[in-house]
Structure 1
Amino acid sequence: MVQSKHLQYTYEIAPVFVLMEEVVLKKLRAFIGWECGDGIFCPGGSMSNMYAMNVARYKLFPEIKKCGLWEMPRLAVFTSEECHYSVTKGAAFQGLGTDNVYLVKADQRGKMIPEELEKQISAAKSKGAVPFLVSATAGTTVFGAFDPLPEIADICENYGIWLHVDAAWGGSALVSRKHRDLLTGIERADSVAWNPHKMLLAGLQCSAFLLKDNTDLLKSCHAANASYLFQQDKFYNVCYDTGDKSLQCGRKVDCLKLWLMWKAIGTRGLEERVDRAFACTRYFVNEMKKRECFRLLMEPEYVNVCFWYIPPSLRGKEQSSDFWQNLGKVAPFIKERMMKRGSMMVGYQHHGTKVNFFRQVLISPQVSREDINFFVDEIERLGSDFQPE
């Protein structure tokens, strides 16, 4: 009855799903470049990043599980200013405090600057803080940027700091022989977050937290040893009772979604899905470059395409004092029209000093060149008569 609901916490409740999860996690770790390790499927990339924070802290100060924060020094986390918001949310949730998350400057493409990371670590140490975690990003939310992992790994190794890579978005490039170089150096990480429900299009939710450590660190950190579930004198190997690795008790069998898809289309099919997303992105960018009305914020490194549409009323006026103020009104103007017309739905945002721009991500295997052509044409149709106030 319980297994029919797709729940797992002990081997006897869901033996097939326990083994399935073990196999899938092993395959994902192999893409990273780890021969061994550990991991667990958990509810989303945000939770994976929080798991990393908790495990890294426990690794450095295992007594925190019993004594709590009272006996701990001030702990410091380091991440890019382009990081996912779950890093600061995790620091708040786990009692570290958002003031102890050091946001490291990123370059114009949104990549963490290693020299700035080292400066922040030194600054934190000078204030008496203990650096314990660097959370690098492989595929930032806005620009799709990949932090320079080899250089960051060198710094973490030099200072003895846990390196976590938030590859929730960009991790799926690992399955592509053509594009996996974007994540060069990820094998040096201590932990990785990877969401197959993003680019690989597994059913939501399907998120893996992966560890290089294979010494039961994950279980030691989280285990409560409930005697009514996790008896140590069972007739089978109790390492298959994976429930104590988790913050939850019963978990949904999220690995099943990826396993089924993997069996259906194979590793080659997953790779083709990734490669096609990159090819669609390149076609989209090339089509925009043919028209004077589009301007890219930057050449995309991944499949995030950030751009402005410049209507006829603003073209050639880039030097005017109110150009950028007026350009910032164009995306909301077009978005309102597309929603009322019901033709498309695409998001816009401002970012730092950059006024509102569109951010389009092309990952669906159902998107055709005809769809892309329609998208470009529709943006033009909806915005061509914009007039500044």
Structure 2
Amino acid sequence: WFTDLLPAGNGERYTQDFLLDVFNILFNHIQKTFNGKSKVLDFHHPHQLLEGLEGFTLELSDEPEPLEQILVDCSDTLKYGVKTGHPRYFNQLSSGLDMIGLAGEWLTATANTNMFTFEIAPLFIIMEELIIKKMQELIGWREREMDGIFSPGGTISNLYSVLVARYKFFPIVKTKGMAALPRIVLFTSEHSHYSFEKTSAVLGIGTENVIAVKCDDRGKMIVSDLEEKILKAKEQGHVPFYVSATAGTTVYGAFDPFSEIADICEKYGLWMHVDMCYASKASYTSFDFWTTERLIFVACLSHVEIAKIYAPNTDQARFLSSTLARLASFGGPCVIIGGCGRQTWERLSPGRTGKLHSILHTSPQSLVHKRRILKLWWYRDPTTLRKIFPSTPSTCWRCNAATGTYLHVWWECDRIRPFWKRVFQLPKNAVYYASFCLLLATSIPLFWKTTTIPPMALWISTMNDIMRMEETLVLDNDTYDKFTVGLAALLLLRHAGYVASYRPKGLLQACNQMCAKYLFQPDKPYDVTYDTGDKTIQCGRHVDIFKLWLMWKAKGTCGFELQINKCLENAEYLYKKLKTLENFELVFPDEVAAKIKARMMEEGTAMVSYQPLKDKPNFF
């Protein structure tokens, strides 16, 4: 009986035997989960579960039941539940069963603590701070610029975003409530997540004040419609304050045009939030940049209170830029991503070139950093850039034979090719090394102006500048850049938690703190800034951080990146395989998807989500 277990006297043996039996049940379930021949679920209708199945009943009795029955209940609960880690589980939210994460969850449950003050959860508080600092290093923010917490999921992260944005523009709302505010409205795409309507209902803004912006046939927000609706709201006496862009919509997986949306937000003084759902794609992005010889540079801006993202005309670059955006939940500002390939450099219009040039000139960066980025454009197009640098040459200063474009001078010229060939042959792991070399390709040309090949010593010393600017890590024997290859690791497993991060630091605390005297005393014998409970609307939080911390320790940034790339390779393989099947259609006729899913659930063979969209029928 339960009374024989700890903390009962002499209960150690009974407790050990009971927990070992529970472990065996769990381990057997894990084995079945990874067995592709097993069912995803043993489906039963609600009335069947309520009536009871083979000695398993959900009804609660007044009298205690023996531990043998409790073990049966544990086993049957797993038996009739969904195996979310099954190879054929493709439904919402779950993304597999990670053994290190599972071990972390077991330890978290055993510790049985909450996160709100350092005195209650000292190690977990520090772990959260360290991981958030790691994130801000990857983004390129300084410590004073970023604040954040782990939240239960994406819906709550979106709620925090609207909550903090409203407080920034209308701090009086914290004490006086919505009655003291004008009628505020927020804008989001018609394909965005429903959590924004739910958030508006919870915060008292009202669902009628969530204005849906039209999308094109690819599911992307139409920026012209956004501006029209902002102006219309102003004409009606409403006060626009917030725009949510989406990086990977729920149904189509579409990416909104972030740069154009950011321009609108800057123009009308609105807070821009990026709800990024496809975090793991960023790892693939880094290597796609490498394989297509694209160059990346990242510049942090702080001159506007929006996320300012400049993305080239590639979906891969959008994945990378949106990952940076989601890691911050960005109510603030901040990252310009520039990328270009052999053809993309030449296709950039003078207008877009001028746009980037004007942004760089208005941002309060150091003059050295600003000039560096401008110099990257020196050899792109001598005619266009002569207005910026009148002395721009028209021919390559290495061979004096070809047009002096940036790509030719540093990639195509016969004099420079041996240098890069030697550089890329150095590392043991060329995949990791790729992005490192590409970053150097945007730095060495800034000052190396002779026709000779740069020496390797210069190439190595140049990395110091990149390390200061991009927070990269240099290893002695196998050098590679962790800034670009490790972004996706932060949000690989959805069950590891979501991060809500904000600029400037302190805004989250000011928005939510209530200074409960019985919890947050200022005279504690330690640094009370580690009492993070007042940053949240919950105070006490489940310790989600430990799973991610333990996984990061076990796998490292490199392990996360390899795991994500493998998943993406599998997805691409399946996509190409399906394209070869003439009798396979991606969108099914009306009602067929629901019936197919019902049959799969009843047989337990697979579980795949489906949904309709406007005039489209249900489809997987």
TM-score bracket, shorter-length normalisation: 0.7 to 0.9
The TM-score normalised by the length of structure 2 is: 0.50
- Residues 63-142 of structure 1: matches in 2 within 5 Å? 63-142=172-251
- 1:328 to partner: Cα distance: 1.4
Letter in 1 for 2:545: C
- The one of 587, 597, 601 aligned to 1:335: 597
Tell me the SS of whatever aligns to 1:77.
strand
Corresponding residue for residue 345 of structure 1? 607
Q: 2:119 aligns with which of 2, 5, 12?
A: 12
Amino acid at match of 2:116: Y
What's the secondary structure of 1:308's corresponding residue? Answer: coil
**1:139, 1:145 within 8 Å by CA — same for their partners in 2?**
yes
Residues 1-389 of structure 1: pairs in structure 2 closer than 5 A: 4-35=111-142, 36-167=145-276, 169-176=277-284, 177-178=286-287, 181-183=317-319, 185-186=321-322, 191-192=328-329, 200-201=492-493, 204=495, 206-214=497-505, 216-295=506-585, 307-308=586-587, 327-358=589-620
Q: Distance in 2 between matches of 1:86 and 1:71?
A: 25
Distance 2:191 2:523 in 1: 48
- What RMSD, in angstroms, separates the aligned Cα atoms of the two structures? 2.5
Contact 1:17 1:253 in 2 (8 A): yes
Taking structure 1 as reference, are residues 153 and 188 closer, same or farther at Cα in structure 2, changes over 3 Å only?
farther
User: Higher strand fraction: Structure 1 or Structure 2?
Assistant: 1
Q: CA deviation at 1:234?
A: 2.4
AA matched with 2:618 = N
1:150, CA displacement in angstroms?
A: 1.5
CA deviations on 1:126-177 (whole Å, 9 max, x unpaired) are 111111111111111111111121111121112111111111x223334452
Partner of residue 314, structure 1 = none
Q: Distance in 1 between matches of 2:133 and 2:268?
A: 29
Moved more, 129-138 or 106-115: 106-115
Flag structure 1 segments of 5+ consecutive residues without an equivalent: 296-306, 310-326, 359-389
Q: Check whether the contact 1:34–1:212 (CA below 8 A) recurs between aligned residues.
A: no
Q: Distance in 2 between matches of 1:344 and 1:281?
A: 17
Say if 1:121 and 1:131, in contact at 8 Å, map to a contact too: yes
- 2:147 touches 2:502 (CA, 8 Å); kept in 1? yes
Structure 1 residue 344, shift from structure 2 partner: 1.4
| 1:176-223, Cα deviation, whole Å (9 max, x unpaired) | 523762245555789518xx9997125x26111111221x11011000
Amino acid of the structure 1 residue aligned with 2:551: M
Q: Which has the larger radius of gyration?
A: 2
Give the equivalent residue in structure 2 for 1:373.
Answer: none
| Aligned match of 2:452 | none
Judging changes above 3 Å, is the alpha-carbon distance between structure 1 residues 163 and 33 closer, same or farther for their aligned structure 2 residues? Answer: farther
List gaps (5 residues or longer) in structure 2.
Answer: 1-107, 289-315, 331-487
Amino acid at match of 1:201: L
- Checking the alignment, whether the CA contact within 8 Å between 1:136 and 1:165 is kept in structure 2 is yes
Shift of 1:224: 0.6
What percent of counterpart residues are identical? 47
Residues 29, 210 of structure 1: 8 Å contact kept: no
Q: Give the Cα separation in 1 of the matches to 2:162 and 2:218.
A: 26
Partner SS for 1:8: coil
Aligned length in residues: 325
Q: TM-score of the superposition, structure 1-length normalised? A: 0.77
CA offset digits 1:316-339 (Å, max 9, x no partner): xxxxxxxxxxx2132233223322
Task: Please name the residue that 1:368 is paired with.
Answer: none
